[in-house]
Amino acid sequence: MSQIPSHKIATTAVDAWLRDFDNALQANDIQHALSLFGEECYWRDFLAFTWNLKTCEGKSDIQAMLSATLASVCPSDWQLEGEATDSGDTFDAWFTFKTAVSSGKGYLRLKQGKCWTLLTTMQALNDYPERRNHHRPKGAEHGANKNRETWLEAREREEAELGYTQQPYCVIIGGGQGGIGLGARLKQMGVPTIIIERNERAGDSWRKRYKSLCLHDPVWYDHLPYIPFPDSWPIFAPKDKVGDWLEMYTNVMELNYWSSTECQNAHFDEVAGEWVVNVTRNGEKVTLRPKQLVMATGMSGMPNVPTFPGAESFEGEQQHSSQHSGPDAYKGKKCVIIGANNSAHDIAAALWEHDADVTMLQRSSTHIVKSDSLMEEVLGPLYSEEAVANGITHDKADLIFASIPYKVLPDFHRPAFAAVKKRDATFYQKLEDAGFMLDFGDDESGLFLKYLRRGSGYYIDVGACDLVANGDIKLRSGVGIERINPRSITLTDGSEITADLIVYATGYGSMNGWAARLISQEVADKVGKCWGLGSDTTKDPGPWEGELRNMWKPTQQEALWFHGGNLHQSRHYSHYLALQLKARMEGLETPVYGLQPIHHKS
């Protein structure tokens, strides 16, 4: 008798679970639905049930969510998509479902027949499909028409009217990759939007950075919505190439992109239910009145520049890493980099290559992972040429990654980073022998958890670490700065470093700093800290949130949203933010379940 293949067993089990779950929800039998979950269980929902990005942890959380939402959501038609897989201790499967207003897609993991993790995502609004595939515009107007308006004339009319005689529904402040990707989503959904960018051209936020800057994440991880990079695109794109792509993308996607425009201030008009946004565009003052305002100033938007005694007396150059244009002017100069994360290593290596005398000042430990090791041990299963060959597109990879609740993500990542540590043991020993302070996160969970928790504290090594290990880049670690002198820096151990250039590679503040600057401190405090999970680890104070604070979801300030993150996050989460904005524009009911309380103001 032949043995039944494991994937057939998994498929049968998942199909039965989905049918049972579907019947329970349609019968409003919450207790039976709960019986289908294991004692340890997680339900992560993107909009479909909660109009929020919300993770329910445990049966009591799930019960409360279903009690509040089930009657209005009306979920139905839960269908297995493809075949399930047997992953050893779990059966994993894709599925689709419907709600009263949308179609959805999800990912399920069963342990011993019960749900361990469930992801549900809204994919499209039933009555408002995106203008693509079967709904794409015709483009040409066939027939004779004395009043014909060409594509170019219609585009020029839209550009002339929007923001002047016609108000946008949404204004996005920040025209980097985040604002551009979100703008493209909203364009496809028919939401009139203006993107505000103070630089002269789309992509300038990349072009104006230090000249050696490249993406540290691989190409498979970095696609923009709708238009993926071509198959010939380099694995790690140089900054100017990224800038040119963003400019091309802005034009091809026909975004209303106001370059050379700076937001002066904004406030929410409670009576009118709209924002009043005052901008200066090419020297002209313009007032916009959108219903929705998105801060897409990015995690790298508000430079964090520490203050040290005597800094005003320094006779050389001082600059934040975001202001550093490159190494050309510093041959033979003594350069001190304060910081030991991504930008610090990139800038230090480029200065060394141009014959500068470079010292890196490391005040706290840094997580280091070699680029090749990160790609092969951590990213490879989801974002690589091999993953694509196995049918895992970047959109599918995004959902698989999202299907892992943040509570258990460390358990997924510790084995991968333990493999990295073992694989590169000699490399790490050389760094420690040089005095470099290393860590793998507070709980050994590695790079991604550090990024999600605090957005800093790591470097993806592309060669600079060897320069630190062999002393080409000098290292001072475990000491602070006592004061800055006219031509040197006095450290807390009493030693002194001569300096012609000081680069503060000291990261960036919370995104709500831009809300404080452009709107008010009161609104920034009302919204609270952006980013972080509440993990109660270094620089990520509790209580536990379960999702990133205030990102891509409703905030305590009506009609104010935050959008940012790396290219992968900007691409994936822009979809859900755009759906939320579209639903509000069309007047759909969007009752938010689990609006995040505020525990930290900045």
Segment 105-150, tens digit of pLDDT: 999 999 999 999 999 999 999 999 999 999 998 888 888 888 889 9
The answer to whether 48 touches 145, Cβ cutoff 8 Å, is no
C-alpha–C-alpha distance, residues 36 and 275, integer Å: 45
pLDDT of residue 60: 98
d(CA 17, CA 6): 17
| Average per-residue pLDDT for the chain | 95
Is pLDDT at 229 greater than 90 in this prediction?
yes
Residue 1, pLDDT > 80, answer no
Q: How confident is the model at residue 300 (pLDDT cuts 50, 70, 90)?
A: low
For the beta carbon of residue 182, count every other beta carbon within 10 angstroms.
31
Q: Is 55 exposed, middle or buried (0-12, 13-18, 19+ CB in 10 A)?
A: buried
Residue 387 has pLDDT above 70, yes or no: yes
The percentage of residues in the chain with a pLDDT greater than 70, rounded to a whole number, is: 99
Q: How many CB atoms lie within 10 A of CB 58?
A: 14
Residue spans of alpha helices (H) in 99-225: 151-161, 177-188, 204-207
pLDDT digits (tens, 9 = 90+) for 71-82: 999 999 999 999
Tell me the H-state helices in 166-309: 177-188, 204-207, 239-252
Q: Is 50 exceeded by the pLDDT of residue 355? A: yes
* pLDDT at residue 301 greater than cutoff 70: no
CB 145 within 8 A of CB 153: no
Question: Does the pLDDT value for residue 304 go beyond 90?
Answer: no
End-to-end Cα distance, the chain: 65
Q: Tens digit of pLDDT for each residue in 434-453?
A: 999 999 999 999 999 999 99
The amino acid at residue 4 is: I
Distance CA 350, CA 333 (A): 13
Note the pLDDT of residue 3.
78
What distance separates the 2 farthest-apart alpha carbons in the chain? Answer: 86
Q: What is the mean pLDDT of residues 171-189?
A: 97
Q: Inform me whether the pLDDT recorded for 486 exceeds 80.
A: yes
Give pTM, 2 decimals: 0.96
Give 503-558 pLDDT, tens digit per residue. Answer: 999 988 878 889 999 999 999 999 999 999 999 999 999 999 999 999 999 999 99
CB-based contacts of 155: which residues, under 8 Å, 6+ apart? 254
pLDDT band at 299 (very low <50, low <70, confident <90, very high): low
Q: Which amino acid is located at 232 in the chain?
A: S
Distance (Å, rounded) from C-alpha 471 to C-alpha 475? Answer: 7
* CA–CA dist 435, 469 (Å, integer): 8
pLDDT at 2 over 60: no
- Residue bearing tokens 């039976």: 32
